[in-house]
Amino acid sequence: MKQRLAVAAGGASVAAAAILLLRTRARMAKPVPRDERTRWRVVTIGCTQEQLATCPAPLAALGAEVDIELRDAPGGRGTELRARLRAGGTLTPADLRIALRQSKQLVEAGEIAVVAPQPHGRRKPTPQGLALDVIAAASEGKGIL
Domain boundaries, the chain: 1-32, 35-113, 116-145
DSSP string, the chain: -HHHHHHHHHHHHHHHHHHHHHHHHHHHHS-----TTTS-EEEEESS-TTTT-SPPHHHHTTGGGEEEEEEEPGGG--EEEEEEEPTT-S--HHHHHHHHHHHHHHHHHSS-----S-TT-PPP--HHHHHHHHHHHHHHHHT--
Please indicate, yes or no, whether the overall pTM of this predicted structure exceeds 0.75.
Answer: no
pLDDT at 128: 84
The pLDDT of 4-29, averaged and rounded, is 66
Give CATH for domain 35-113: 3.30.70
The pLDDT of 64-84, averaged and rounded, is 92
48 vs 129, more confident? 48
52 vs 125, more confident? 52
Task: Tell me what the pLDDT averaged over the chain comes to.
Answer: 80
**Where does the pLDDT of residue 113 fall: very low under 50, low under 70, confident under 90, or very high at 90 and above?**
confident
**Where does the pLDDT of residue 73 fall: very low under 50, low under 70, confident under 90, or very high at 90 and above?**
very high
